[in-house]
Amino acid sequence: MTINSLIAQGMISSLLVYLLTKLNKKLGAFLTVLFSGYLLFVIFGFQNSAGEVFSLIHFGEFELTFMTSHYAWYFAIVLTLTYFLVSFFNPYWMKKMVNPAAYNMLFMVSMVGTVGVFYAKDFLTLFIFYEIVVWSSLFIIPMGKSRKTPVIYYTISSIGSFAMLYAIFYLYHSVGSFDIQAVSEAMSQAPNTYRFVFFTMIVAGLTKLGIFPFHTWLPAAHGSAPHTFSPVLSGGLVKVGGFIALITATVIPSFKILAGDLQLMGVPFENYLIMLLGAVSIVVGTLMAIKQEDAKKLIAYSTVSNSGYIIIGLMLNDQVGFAGGMMHVFNHAMASGAMFLSFAAIAYRTGTTKMSELGGLIKRMPLTFAAYLIAIISLAGIPPMSGFASKWLIFQGLASNGMMFIALAAFFGSIGSFLYVFRPLSAAFLGQLSPKHKDVKEVPWMMQIPLIIMSFLTIFYGIFPGRILAYISKIQESVGLKGVEIEGTKIIAATGMWDSLVITLVFGGGFMLAAILFFISPKAKPVDQMNTYTSGEFIYDPDHYHYAKNYYATFENNYGNKKRVELFFDAVALRVKEFGEMVKTMFFAKSVSFSIFWIMLFFTLVYFWGDKV
Amino acid sequence: MINPVLLIAIPLLAAFISVFIQKLSWVLLFGVSIFTAISGFFLQKGMFMIGGWKPPFGINLMIDDYSFIIIIVINLLFFLTLLSGMWELKKNKTILMVILAGINGLVMTGDLFNLFVFLEIITISGYILAASSDKYYSVFKYLVLGTLGSSLYLFGIMVLYGTLGTLNMADISQQFPNVSGSVKIISLTFVFAGLGVEAKLLPFNAWVKGIYGNTTPLTGPLFSTVFATGAIAVFGRIFGQILVPDSTLIFAFIALGLITFIFAETSAMASKKLRELLTFSSIGQAGLIITMFMIGGFYAALIQLINNAFAKTILFSYATKAYKSNGDDTINNMSGLFRKNVMMGFGFTVATLSLIGLPLFFGFYAKINMLQSAFALNMWIPALIILGSIIEGIYYIRLLVKLWNPGEEGQESSELAQSQFVIKNGFSLSLIAVLIGIIFVVSGIIPDFLTENIAKAADSLSDAATYLSTVLGGI
């Protein structure tokens, strides 16, 4: 199997899925599971392949080609795995979708598109598939809760993608080739061209990752997308932005090309600026996530914060931090995927993701709870989950370069994440069971599969992070960096080493101790949510008595509630519209005299200025 | 091989006959349209003298690769327009045949005054057709500005005739570089302004909003595709080959094209009615394509011209039908309308995505070609083109999302919130939409099968020497 025929098969079978879903909704959904599994299987076979070239088609005078590489495989496997796992949820949502056939088709198209992005040999192929991913995912989002958010998504995304397109053609104009390798070689002679290209091209990565100030689409779109697509958006598609950043900064070796530029803390100032944006998104994402009422919006903001870690890691371009950033791509895909999926499971049973309407679901949905718990432990960067490994490596990278401010933001985000990931846990799973959800059951077995697999992978790579890091060190060597150093389960960095197995054992021991203490100590007495003292007043709305309402009120009051970036974008949009209205009144007025004026002005200007011809 | 004169003569003859035999007029109209649509492919290339006078003394028709492809496109578009607007023909059949003759002549003619005559034929027919919408004030405005445009154009060619003593395009293009600067600037600006009225360039296009914004299922696609393609094609011919402006003046024209593009796109962004939105999008596209012609990207301009024309056929047909069936075309009231007619929705979506220039659709090929030819000139024009495309994408995506997904904001999308609107008489449009949609997708993946002839056309436009030797070779 080759990449080009795989892409062609994917595109054709997406049409097939569309037709079959029209016939039978469930059948089409099962086909998405089947095909994404097949895609995962085939992509897995490319693990050790690098430098194989496949030609797709002649596109006019251009040629679209794919090339295998280690970094492409890594991203592709993370994405296809996310798609595959999420697709298990599809069959159960077909009844609720407004247009299931289109959903399944676009799901497939976006999945195949991501593979195309990663394996692209030249920038044109990369851009084509990037845009295919954008518009195919774009049309899934309005099937959920909002018709406005897809437009926000498209706007921000197209700012990025068109900036990238501009950079690509600028490169084509100056280098005469779309080929990434050729561009990379040519750029080593032309740092001035590359400096401009670096900033224009990386905008695409920033918008897709949701880095400040382009983060506004994440909570909007992820929060309102269909429940089954939010995990793909957050766990998967955001990583496409990480890939663009990787191409811009590492595959085209920015650290070598820009070595002559001002160096800040050991990296070129261009990379440092992007890292600063990453640090701001960590802080913004954390602070905003803390005060979200809706669990999906909360996870979306946590994605903003985690994208910050990824971009910081990737921009470090060193032995340790870069490995951490790359590993975080996988960890965050699994963790945020599991978080979104567990809330999709909750929504499937209860119909809501609002935290104040939930509560006490641990007794009804224990497996969903466990999956969520493992995911948040990983996301908060607590051992022995895999999230700890990547964050530790990023901290190491920051510390060894002496990047104080960014490290401060990274630590802030890590501690803040305890606050926000705990909120849905306590609000939805712990506490009292809302009387509305007395009859809720655990989700069907097929929806449990992805939760179990994601949890397993998170724990497994937490205990044996070396398995992933070994591959990442291969990637590092292939792009001209020093590979991360591993010895068995020991990971070695500048300031010391860390043995994941030992740490797991310690934590396991602690867990056992706590469990023993829990079982021998007296049990807490469960109290019904409505069983409360109200001075004889009748209680009708359980939501108001939910203890997770205004959970962090005191904390939130310390910073304002204005979404300043959103306000800014709204203002820009309003100005554009106002400008449009102005054009309408100035040039398309009811009276003809306006246009006679303009025509006169045109002739006058031409004659004043025209004698220079 | 078919003599190109027939493409003008037969529609005119049929128009005369239809005056006397009213009952057969629709047969004549469709017959003539099918004839021209098919014979466009078998058109004999070369120069044709009218009345036996050799150019530059007589009028000639010129079929090179450029006019060949434009003739095919325009006649196909005309046929599609008739199909989708066939319930609206009423008493306009004779006028339509006259328009067909006029537009064919406009594209093929090799004489500047003859071009003026054909331009007058189609604009006057345009006034009559536009008046069928009962918006007489808009028609009056169109009349005033159209007449102004024609007069400006006439004045421009008068100056040329006074200086060079000829109106033959080939002859003029040969002598034009030697003309003194002040004559050049006067004639060029007048011709530019005159054609700018029909080609919808800012600031000569004040009539467009009233006319395009109040179109019927017949006039909508007719004006926005057939007329627009013809006008822009003539623009490309005259300023790309015949009267090539000097490098200083051309920047004024390019600036005007880009201003049209960006201003119109922002106006479209501020529009709430579907036909008005499409109107401004048409203006914007006209500005973009004319810019491409001006900077010498003929290939990109032609691809975008064809892309825009076929896309707008679907878009305007759908919008006008929606208005005709429901008496309203406010976008907010149309939410979920595509769910009722999926075939039209598919065509509309593909056409829109192609117009924005997203990959997998033909428009993407147009966009990369545009950027490539724009970058050959400088860095700012592509940046402005990209800025306009972003704005264009936003409002079109907003439109598509609304039309596909019924539902209140904050609620899951569901059929319950669907619009009460219906589309009547949509069968022919469904077929057209699917057909064009499939062509857009296929040519978006393998553009070569469409672009081979377009490349030839672009070459023939940039190759003035061949044009000259074909027309004047006999002397």
Residues A389-409 pLDDT 10s: 888 888 888 888 888 888 888
pLDDT band at B351 (very low <50, low <70, confident <90, very high): very high
| Domain stop point among A487, A509, A531 | A509
Q: Same structural domain for residues A467 and A576?
A: no
Q: Give CA–CA dist A101/A528, Å, rounded.
A: 43
Q: What is the pLDDT of residue B65?
A: 86
3-class SS letters over A262-316? CEECCEEHHHHHHHHHHHHHHHHHHHHHHCCCEHHHHHHHHHHHHHHHHHHHHHH
pLDDT of residue B311: 92
Name the percent of chain A lying above pLDDT 70.
95
- For residues A209 and A173, is the Cβ–Cβ distance under 8 A? no
Residue A529: per-residue pLDDT: 64
Q: Compute the nearest-CA separation of A538 from chain B (Å).
A: 30
Residue of B nearest to A612 (CA): B248
**Shortest Cα–Cα distance, B369 to chain A (Å):** 10
Domain, as residue range, for A423? 144-509
Task: State how far the Cα of A451 lies from the Cα of A368, in Å rounded to an integer.
Answer: 7
Can you name the residues that pair with A63 across neighbouring β-strands? A58
A386 to chain B nearest CA, in Å? Answer: 35
Query: pTM value?
Result: 0.92
- The secondary structure element, H or E, covering residue B280 is helix B274-294
Residue A612 has a pLDDT of: 59
At A548 the pLDDT is 67
How many independent structural domains does chain A possess?
2
Answer whether A276's CB lies under 8 Å from A407's CB.
Answer: no
pLDDT at A537: 67
Q: How confident is the prediction for chain B on average, in pLDDT?
A: 87
Which of A60, A154, A169 has its CB closest to that of B371? A169
Nearest C-alpha of chain B: how many angstroms from A529? Answer: 28
* Chain B nearest C-alpha distance from A97 (Å): 8
Mean of the per-residue pLDDT values of chain A: 86
Distances from the Cα of B173 to the Cα of A298, B111, B245, B468, B471, angstroms: 67, 11, 11, 8, 11
Provide φ and ψ at A608, rounded to 5°: -65, -40
pLDDT digits (tens, 9 = 90+) for A322-333: 888 999 999 999
Sign of CA dihedral A275, A281, A284, A290: negative
pLDDT at A383: 78
* pLDDT computed for residue B7 by the predictor: 86
Nearest CA in chain B to A155: B394
Asked if B368's CB is within 8 angstroms of A62's CB, the reply is: yes
pLDDT tens digits, one per residue of A45-66: 888 888 888 888 888 788 888 9
3-state secondary structure of A54: strand
**Higher-confidence residue: B53 or A288?**
A288
In a domain, A226, yes or no: yes
Contact B401 A147 (CB under 8 A): yes
Is the domain of A311 the same as that of A447?
yes
Residue B378 predicted with pLDDT over 90: no
At B429 the pLDDT is 86
End-to-end alpha carbon distance in chain A: 62
Per the CB < 8 A criterion, the answer to whether A389 and A400 are in contact is no
Instruction: List the Cα angle A131/A149/A279 in 5-degree steps.
Output: 75
For residues A151 and A240, membership in a common domain is answered with: yes
Mutation for A interface: B142, B262, B386, most A CBs within 10 A? B386
If one compares A157 and B418, the residue with the highest pLDDT of the two is A157
| Residue B95 to residue A389: CA distance in whole angstroms | 77
Mean pLDDT calculated for residue range B297-325: 90
Residue of B nearest to A11 (CA): B360
Q: Please check whether residue A579 lies inside any domain of the structure.
A: yes
User: What tens digit of pLDDT does each residue of A110-121 get?
Assistant: 999 999 999 998
A209 and A297, same structural domain? yes
Residue A86 has pLDDT above 80, yes or no: yes
User: What's the pLDDT at B475?
Assistant: 46
A594 in B contact zone (CB under 8 Å)? yes
- Give the one of B269, B389, B400 whose C-beta lies nearest to A577's C-beta: B269
Going by the DSSP 8-state scheme, the letter that residue A583 receives in this structure is: H
Per residue in B202-258, pLDDT tens? 888 888 888 888 888 888 888 889 999 999 999 888 888 888 888 778 888 888 899
> Chain A interface, mutation test: which of B190, B370, B412, most A Cβ atoms within 10 Å?
B412
In a domain, A594, yes or no: yes
In one-letter notation, the amino acid at residue B73 is V
Which region, left, alpha or beta, applies to residue A493 given φ > 0 means left and ψ of -120 to 50 means alpha?
A: beta
User: Is residue A545 very low, low, confident or very high in pLDDT (cuts 50, 70, 90)?
Assistant: low
Q: Is A522 helix (H, G, I), strand (E, B) or coil?
A: coil
Rounded mean pLDDT of A216-229? 88
Do A594 and A480 share a structural domain?
Answer: no
Chain B hits for A142, Cβ within 8 Å: 401, 404-405, 407, 413
A351 in a domain, yes or no? yes
Contact yes or no for B415 and A98 at CB 8 A: yes
Same domain as A382, residue A251: yes
HSE at residue B45, side-chain half, CA atoms within 13 A, is: 15
Q: What is the phi/psi pair of residue A588, to 5°?
A: -125, 40
Q: Rounded to the nearest 10 degrees, what angle do helices A593-609 and B136-164 cross at?
A: 20
Asked if the model's pLDDT at residue A555 lies above 80, the reply is: no
Lowest mean pLDDT segment, chosen from A360-369, B147-156, B305-314: A360-369
| B156/chain A closest Cα distance in angstroms | 13
Does one domain contain both A441 and A576? no
CB contact under 8 A, A57 and B445: yes
Closest CA to B114 of B274, B237, B220: B237
pLDDT of residue B266: 92
For residue A201, being part of any structural domain is answered with: yes
Segment A367-373 mean pLDDT: 89
- Residue-level length of chain A: 613
The whole-number average pLDDT for the span A432-454 is: 83
Return the higher-pLDDT residue of B363 and A610: B363
- Nearest-Cα residue of chain B relative to residue A602: B203
Q: Is residue A25 part of a domain?
A: no
Point out the residue among B203, B206, B448 whose CB comes nearest to the CB of A60.
B448
pLDDT at position B262 is: 92
| Interface A:B, Cβ pairs < 8 A | 194
Does the CB of A448 have a partner CB in chain B at under 8 Å? no
Interface contact flag, B412 A595, Cβ < 8 Å: no
pLDDT at A562 over 90: no
Please give the angle made by the CA atoms of B442, A58 and B356, to the nearest 5 degrees: 50
CA B304 to CA B373: how far, in whole Å?
Answer: 13
Share of chain B above pLDDT 70, in %: 99
Q: What share of chain A is helix, strand, coil (3-state, %, to 5)?
A: 70, 5, 25
Each residue's pLDDT tens digit, A447-496: 888 999 999 999 888 888 888 888 888 888 888 888 888 887 788 877 77
In this structure, are A338 and A405 located in the same domain? yes
Query: A145: which chain B residues are within 8 Å (Cβ-Cβ)?
Result: 409-413
> Among residues A493, A509, A525, which one ends one of the domains?
A509
Mean pLDDT of the region B401-414 = 81
Within 10 A of A177 (CB to CB), how many other CB atoms are there?
Answer: 15
Report residue B456 as tokens. 């030839």
**Rounded distance, CA B453 to CA B450, Å?**
7
Q: What per-residue confidence (pLDDT) applies to A517?
A: 92
The reply to whether A248 and A354 lie within a common domain is: yes
Within a domain: A548: no
Handedness of CA B142, B145, B151, B155 (dihedral sign): negative
Q: Which residues numbered 21-60 in A keep a CB inside 8 Å of some CB on B?
A: 57-60
Confidence tier at A560 by pLDDT (50, 70, 90): low
Per-residue confidence (pLDDT) for residue B455, from 0 to 100:
84
Mean pLDDT (whole number) for B181-189: 85
**A170, closest residue in chain B (CA to CA):** B375
Q: Of A509, A535, A554, which residue constitutes the final position of a domain?
A: A509
Give yes or no: residues A608 and A481 share one domain.
no
Look up the ipTM and state it: 0.91
Smallest CA-to-CA distance from A429 within A377, A358, A527, A517 is with A358
- The segment with the largest mean pLDDT, out of A348-352, A499-503, A564-568, B355-359, is B355-359
Residue A534: per-residue pLDDT: 64
Q: Tell me, what's the pLDDT at A532?
A: 64
